[in-house]
Every structure is written in C-alpha cells, then in structure tokens.
Amino acid sequence: MKIFLLLFLSQTTGCEALSEVKGCASGWVEFTCKYPKPNVKYQSIYVVSPKEIIRSSEKDVWENKGRVSLYHDPKNTNLRVAIKQLEREDFGDYQCKFHQRSDSSQDTEEVKLDVETDGCQGQFIQTAYRTAKTTITCDHTGNKYKFFCKQNGSICEDILSTKSSLKSNGTFTLTETNSSFSMSISNVSSHDAGVYRCGVETHEGSYRASLRKIQLKVEGGPHVVITVIVCVAVLLLLFVLILILIYACKSYYQFAEETLTFCKQKTTLTTAPPCVEDHVYEEIQQTPNSGNKMNSIYATANFPTNPSASQHYSSINFQTALTELVVRQ
C-alpha cells in the first residue's frame, strides 16, 4: 500500500523544476518548498522522502517527525523542511505535495538532496571561560552566504549572517576573510553554552546547510584559573618547607645521638683517681742519745691536691718535721 501511494503521488501533475540541495554527511540541512500557486490556500501538505511519507498537520509551528522537522508557513507561502544528522538513506529526491482539499489534486515541488563535498568539517568541542572572549572559526571559500546559528531542539536559530549588513549585535560579531569566517562571543556567560553551527546559504534562499557543528562549553572565568595556580604554588612552597624542617630535625637528633654516644664512651674509658687519706700519720722513733730514752714523735704528712706530686710533697714535709725535731732536741 505504501509503495502504491508513493507511485501515485509521484505521477501527479503540477511538478515544478527540480531544486538542488547539498548537505554534509552527519550534518544538518534545511530547504524550502514554495507554494506552487502563491494565491492558493493549501489545506494539506505531504513530503515524500526517499524512505517515507511525512505529513504536515500544523501551521506556524515546528513539527518534529524523528530527524525530520516541518514548518508550514502560510504567511510566506512555503513549507520549511529541516533534517538533522544526515545519513546515507536521507540523500535522494524529495517531493512536497500541496492539496487545496483532501480530495483534490495536488501541486508538487521537487527537491534533490545531494552530498556536499566542499567545505564539510568535523564537529569539535570548544571551551570558553566566563567574562572572557571566545572565537569560533569555520573554513569556506565559496561564494554563498555564511551564517552562524545556535541549535534549539530540532531547529537552528539564526544569530548572524553575511547576507545582512549587521555584523554585530553587541555580544556576537561575525568576521569574514578570503578563506574563512568566524564568530566572536564577548563577555561569555553560562547562557552561551550549547551547540552552534556554521554554514552556508544560497543567494536565492532556497536552502542552507551546516558545515560544522561546535559544542561550546563554558567554565569558570580566568580569575578562577589564577586562584588555582596560586593555591598550587602555595601548597608546593609549604611542602618544600616541611621537607626542610624534617631534614633539619633529623640532622639535629642525629647529632645529639652521636654526641651522647661519644660522652658515654669517654666516661667509660676515664679512670677515677684512687682514694687516699687526707692525713698520714707516721711514728718516728727518736734514736737513743746520751743514754736517754726518746719519746715517740708523731708527724703529720699532708698530701697535696695534685696527686702526681703527692710523693715528693710528702717526703719534703717529713724531712722538715724530722729536722725540726732534731733541732729541738
């Protein structure tokens, strides 16, 4: 039944010239099917893709049909078709079928979606810091309009484009060179985080395609980085000081231990002086003289404080005492 319906829709009359659209693999593309008859109000619209039929049932609102989104815009008399994360099966012929009534014949707008081979770039992650400035750059040398948009659900909301004379809105600034174009974001905030796309758009506005997907992450400002660096430096300094103190204490205790060991060894090897009596009493017998009996005489010999001279000093004192005794006799 599905195949029969596809064949039936493809054989209907009212086809316009085939429009060519190019998109990058794994990228995002948006093309527009214009009303075949601008003065006619269409009540029912179908999109026949290479793999399925997608119906639009709402007006002035995006309808998500998986990776495909539709926006029926009666005011501008067109149907916008957006496809994200393009896969191999998405490339091919598309037909936009417009019906005035459900039972009436349809008018057809045909679009051919081919693979873009010029300027497609891989997606990447970029980090920005709060209150700072960051720049997103894309390479492209073609003559199409360049634009930047921010992903919001299934659609990409316009920010700036080279087809407009306005190249800055205060926060965002678009710059174009011969080989690239870039968008700068000043005074970055957490609100700026998200998915951005840079792409190209035809001059007639029939389609636009993303060349690169950029995931922008916003982290703490530069002052946070400086604070972290200072803290790390202080911690390293404290660590060095602690090592110095540990080494100094270890050296001190080692020196004290060696000194104590030396003192103990010296005390063990030193011999205490012998104990001597303060006074030595020696009995001197008086030799008989003239037949008289001699009384015993006691002399006291005092040792000097210098042990080395004790014997000499005792001998002198003894002789002196003996001489005095003889004289008295």
At residue 269, the pLDDT reads 56
pLDDT band at residue 16 using 50, 70 and 90 as cut-offs: very low
Q: Of 291, 290, 292, 280, give the one whose Cα is nearest residue 321.
A: 280
> Would residue 296 be called left, alpha or beta, if left means φ above 0 and alpha means ψ between -120 and 50 degrees?
beta
The rounded mean pLDDT for the chain is 80
Q: Of 76, 208, 206, give the one whose Cα is nearest residue 142.
A: 208
pLDDT higher than threshold 50 for residue 102? yes
At residue 307, the pLDDT reads 52
In which order are the strands placed within the sheet that holds 134-139?
Answer: 134-139, 180-185, 172-176
pLDDT band at residue 280 using 50, 70 and 90 as cut-offs: very low
At residue 262, the pLDDT reads 72
CA angle at residue 58 from 56 to 60, to 5 degrees? 115
**How many beta carbons lie within 10 A of that of residue 61, not counting itself?**
10
The string of pLDDT tens digits covering residues 198-238 is 999 998 888 999 999 999 999 986 665 576 688 888 888 88
Which position has the token pair 């540990």? 246
The string of pLDDT tens digits covering residues 151-171 is 988 789 999 999 989 899 989
pLDDT band at residue 88 using 50, 70 and 90 as cut-offs: very high
**How many beta carbons lie within 10 A of that of residue 299, not counting itself?**
17
At residue 17, the pLDDT reads 55
Distance CA 80, CA 89 (A): 20
The string of pLDDT tens digits covering residues 68-78 is 999 999 999 99
Cβ pair 175, 182 in contact under 8 A: yes
What domains does the chain contain, in order, with CATH numbers? 2-115 (2.60.40.10), 124-222 (2.60.40.10), 279-328 (no CATH)
What letters, b where the CB count within 10 A reaches 16 and e where it falls short, cover 20-36?
ebbbbeebbbbbbbbbb
Distance CA 209, CA 28 (A): 6
pLDDT higher than threshold 90 for residue 290? no
Mean pLDDT of 52-80: 94
Cβ pair 207, 32 in contact under 8 A: yes
Least confident of 22-31, 39-48, 137-146, 282-291: 282-291
